[in-house]
Amino acid sequence: MKTKCIFTLLALLVVFISGCIDQKKEITLDEPGNVSSYEFDAFLDEWSNGTPANTTTYYILKDKTEVQAVHIVINSSKLEIFPPDSLGGGPDKDPIKNFVLLVEPANETVANSDTFMRLSNSSNVSEVNYTLTQDVTRGMKVVNLEFKEPVTGFIAYTLDTPGTQSFTFMKPDSEFIRVVLPEGYVTGNRVFGIARPEPYETSFDEKGRQTLLWISSKMGEHEEAIQVKYYVESAPMYFFAAIMALLVGVFMVLSRYSRSRKELESVREIFELEKEYERETQRKKK
């Protein structure tokens, strides 16, 4: 009996250890990314004299099936990427595409606004040594980007999303986190969709797109994921109009019912009067 219990415990231990072992594979990109397909915004820290800071910006595309991620990195040698399907994604499909690097060795670059403006106007990808690997640990997918030496600049890639009007992602290792919604879409109405946790700031860019901003240092330590549910900007107006039309329809039905009831009561009174008249006529004849 003891031997059987020992073998059972050993089998469970093997299963547990195998589940904790990283499922690692290297990602090989077949072709270079298209620089012109991205927006490289030299976002500056307005709270610190307008200097560049580590920033991650997610641009949700109009068709809602793809999200473009653009990172501003400063003196960084590693970047962890959590695809939208991180909480249960498998390693069968490469999780990123259209990978673009506009970076320079950190020891040869001054991380100021001029540097990022120059890099944002570049049309050629950077030639630097890096490795991309994908790990799946305890059901969570993580893509690791590692450089042989620290770099400063932009890192961009595209993620596939389910195509719903909801975007959920793990909090990246950036001080500033931004989500830019498609033009014509907004968030903030508790009936139609809000962002959780609540953004530090909400604004609109020059294209009329709603932009949400979180600051990592001001977020709670347990807020590891961000979810943005968004909707067509005109949806609340149409919903309110539909509710008003429904209320008007109900009022009209009730009014018609009330009129019909009064008419029926009037007919009934006339009928009762006629019966009473007939009874009185019969009594007089007797």
The most confident of the ranges 138-152, 167-181, 272-286 is 167-181
- Confidence at 209, pLDDT banded by 50, 70, 90: very high
User: From the CA atom positions of the chain, what is the Rg in Å?
Assistant: 32
Nearest to 94 by CA among 167, 18, 181, 159: 159
Nearest to 51 by CA among 38, 42, 60: 42
- Confidence at 27, pLDDT banded by 50, 70, 90: confident
Higher-scoring residue by pLDDT: 253, 213:
213
Quick one: average pLDDT of 89-96?
Answer: 61
- Confidence at 285, pLDDT banded by 50, 70, 90: low
The average confidence (pLDDT) of the chain is 83
Strand 25-26 vs strand 166-170: parallel, antiparallel, or unpaired? unpaired
To which residue do tokens 């270079």 refer?
32
Element spanning 73, H or E? strand 66-81
For residue 121 the two structure tokens come to 């106007």
- Confidence at 85, pLDDT banded by 50, 70, 90: low
- Confidence at 223, pLDDT banded by 50, 70, 90: confident
Quick one: average pLDDT of 226-233?
Answer: 94
> For 39-53, 203-217, 253-267, which range has the lowest pLDDT when averaged over its residues?
253-267
Nearest to 114 by CA among 129, 104, 100: 104
The CA distance from 73 to 135, in Å, is: 22
For residue 190 the two structure tokens come to 């508790």
The reported pLDDT for the residue numbered 12 is: 47
- Is the pLDDT reported for residue 244 higher than 90? no
What pTM value is reported for the model? Answer: 0.77
pLDDT digits (tens, 9 = 90+) for 63-72: 888 999 999 9
- Is the pLDDT reported for residue 193 higher than 50? yes
The CA distance from 131 to 118, in Å, is: 25
Q: What percent of the chain has pLDDT over 90?
A: 51
The CA distance from 237 to 154, in Å, is: 39
Higher-scoring residue by pLDDT: 56, 162:
56
> For 27-36, 61-70, 140-149, which range has the lowest pLDDT when averaged over its residues?
27-36
Phi, psi of 78, rounded to the nearest 5 degrees = -150, 145
> For 25-39, 106-120, 235-249, which range has the lowest pLDDT when averaged over its residues?
235-249
